[in-house]
Chain A
Amino acid sequence: MKKDNTKYYLTLPAAFLLIGTTIVPILYMLYTSLFRLDPVVFNKTWPFVGLQNFIDLFTKDPMFWSSLRRTLTFLIYTVTPQIFVGLFLAALLYREFKGKRFVQTILLFPILATPIVVAMVWKYFFDFDTGFLNVFLQKIGLQPQPWLSTRGLPLFANIPFVGSWLVNKFNLTYAFRTIVFVNFWQWTPFCFLVLYSGMTSLPAEVYEAAGIDGASGWQAFRHITLPLLKRIIWAVVFIRVIDCLKVYAQIWVLFGNAESTRVINIHLYTLGFTTSEYGMTSALGVVIIMLISLFVGITIKLGGKKDA
């Protein structure tokens, strides 16, 4: 019987499009990372510099390591609570109670908004003089807080001798806390949604058997729900890690490319479009792709191990 290849031909336009918009630009980025490339030489012969852009990035760029460290801190500060709170909410809403549907609907609102709109709204909420939060705090007799300030959080900054070091190394500033909060606010419901869906698909018989054996609610959660949800938890971690590594819009709207909130993607934009160092930007792009691949690999490996 003759093999019909029509289905393969039909995938070709999509394949060309995908290659043209992902593989070709990545290869071109790799190529341009080997040249000194900025507006001055853009329309002339590009000087070949080999790996110098990478070396400059690692040794001379004053913001590379700090923005990388900030990205990792952001990842830890956001993903960890999102997973725990998402799981907590899923467990809480797994039970039947009056008004459950209403609470579920309200919880999902943040995901429906675009990140830029969310950031804009919070920016107005956090304004020191006219923001809703400070107006509210003052109404109840509390001091207004500089939510958008790049100042260190007093709790840490005022610790003698190590306060400033702590603030710098662990990004314990108002501004950083704000970007973490906004991301947490918008994406915790997503974690809840996926984990809740996972919980509803777990087999009821196991819980019935555990109930007959006298297992408490916590024991059932600890020894049945968590092990059975592992795959889904890792899937959520995986998605959130990728999302947090490419976070851009929210931070940009809230703080632009301010140093204290500059994650690696904001730094990439700044290098490329504010200071127009296209060669260095390509080198940073290559590094970011490698980093994301590494993180994705680690997450998949960890998820797989736990599952085995």
Chain B
Amino acid sequence: MKKITSVLLLLAITSLVFATGSKEATQKQEGGKTITILSVTSPETNALKVLAKKFKELNPDYDVVFNEQGRLGYFTNVTTQLVGGTDAFDLIQDNTTYMTELAAAGTLEPWDKYLNNPKLTDLKAYDLADLPIKLTYKGKIYCIPTDLSSQVYYYRKDFITKPADTWNELIALAKKNTGTASTKYGTILTAMTGGPEAPKIFDTVIWSFGGDVIDKNGKVAINSDAVKKAANVYRSLKPYMPEDITTYNYPKVFDAMKSGLVAQAVPFWNAAWNNIKLSDSKFKDKYGITLIPGVRQKDGSIRRTPQTHGWGLVMNVKSHNKLAAWKFLVYATSKEGFKIRGKHGGSIYRPSLLNAPENAGDPYFSVMAKTYSLARMEPLVPYYSKMHEILNQMVADILTTNKPIENILARTEKNLINLKAKYE
């Protein structure tokens, strides 16, 4: 009897331990009308939420549910969820630069068959030609961004009357405005080690000198005169920026702008314009916005090369609600969708809207129209995050050590060549 009791007790305990995880809590139905979006806490998501509300008003049968997560570890989470084969999300908000890796892993649904089906998409009204950036991999479209980010130049117009056109002019202005009665730092940029921002901002400077990380032929080109010049710009700006510049990411640079610590923030993300205007900063009306500096060419023109990347929604290949998800995607990237999101902190990049007469009075729209026309994306490679890891080390070395730039670039070149070889 005692033995039977103990065996029963054992079974009960074991069942208790394992029973809770034995079945999926929710079973998704094929062809449902509830669209679940994995999203990150950001101004772009806030704008998307406003759009989703409007979408639900127009389509009362549909529901849009946001599963929002903080920025820290978000991209990691997206990768592990998708690679792990989750069907918990129909759409995932992601940065365009990470999408190639996910498309190569077969975790994303291509858009082509939905776009080319007249029953699902009115291509004329959608105006595909008005959407200059499409994320493609092996000839298939995987995303049209809802938001584009690029870099512009913020300066304190109350004491900088003529913003810099070139990097050398920027260095001079930074020197002049460091430690003055008005501002503590002459200039600032995002250089946080470990994040995606430092390499992207540095790309902007590299490209303006005609250099590249990986050239058009797919060759590692980091150890070049152009990149040396870009590194020298960083070293020259160093004395006029915060000592702990490698801890500055978007929020920290933005806080420095808000609190009036800096005379210039450049190259810095365009999202800051709306954010500072909506903030309670007493300096919010003291910032001017213009194109980032560049390198003067022999013909007198300035080569400016802002880097751009997008935020967009990708469709989970495992989604059970693909048609509903597509309906929302088309709405989110339509002209109407851009207008609604643009009013609530989202970015507008459709040229037809940027150049619309009603936006003519706001300098932001003309600067962004010009910026997007000059902007470049980083190479969309499946080893993108690993490449960034190497470039992050390089930027940190340039900004925080006295190591000769030649040595830093030689080490970076060697690491990039090793990385590339692994994927060839």
Contact = CB atoms under 8 A, between A and B. Distances in A.
B83 A13 contact: no
Contact of B396 (A4, A43, A259, A273): A259
Interface in A138-153: 146-152
A28 interface: no
A17 B390 CA distance: 40
Nearest to B84: A42
A149 B400 contact: yes
B13 A13 contact: yes
B236 interface: no
Interface residues of A, number: 41
A12 B14 CA distance: 9
A40 B105 CA distance: 4
Given A4-B2, A62-B415, A13 B17 contact: yes
Contacts of B390: 62
Interface stretch (B23-31, B128-136, B189-197, B342-350): B189-197
B104 interface: yes
B247 interface: yes
B393 A10 contact: no
A249 to B, nearest CB: 12
Contacts of B105: 39-40, 42-43
Interface string B173-194: 0000000000010000000111
A222 interface: no
Interface stretch (B148-156, B351-359, B381-389): B381-389
Contact of B247 (A42, A148, A157, A164): A148
A273 B243 contact: no
Interface stretch (A207-215, A274-282, A290-298): A274-282
Interface string B126-147: 0000000000000000000000
Contacts of A256: 192-195
Nearest to A131: B244
A307 interface: no
Contacts of B2: 4, 6
A258 interface: yes
Given A6-B6, A62-B411, A260 B400 contact: yes
Contacts of A164: 401-403
Interface residues of B, number: 51
B396 A274 contact: no
Interface stretch (B34-42, B73-81, B221-229): B73-81
A243 interface: no
A277 B400 CA distance: 28
A10 B418 contact: no
B83 A39 contact: yes
A62 B243 CA distance: 26
Given A149-B243, A149-B400, A257-B194, A13 B10 contact: yes
Which residue of A13, A44, A146 has the most chain B CB atoms within 10 A of its CB atom? A13
A136 B192 CA distance: 26
A128 B10 contact: no
A258 B198 CA distance: 12
A10 B102 CA distance: 46
Contacts of A161: none
Nearest to B195: A256
A128 B242 contact: yes
B399 to A, nearest CB: 8
Interface in B275-310: none
B83, B107, B382, most chain A CB atoms within 10 A: B83
Contact of A60 (B79, B242, B418): B418
Contact of B243 (A128, A152, A157, A275): A128
Interface string B378-414: 0000100110011011001100111100000001000
23 contacts: A5-B6, A9-B6, A9-B7, A10-B9, A12-B10, A39-B104, A44-B106, A62-B393, A62-B411, A149-B246, A150-B246, A150-B400, A151-B401, A157-B402, A164-B402, A255-B247, A256-B192, A257-B194, A258-B396, A273-B80, A274-B75, A276-B101, A277-B386
Given A9-B9, A9-B10, A150-B246, 6 more contacts: A10-B10, A146-B243, A149-B247, A150-B244, A255-B194, A274-B194
> 3 tightest A-B contacts by CB?
A146-B243, A258-B193, A256-B194
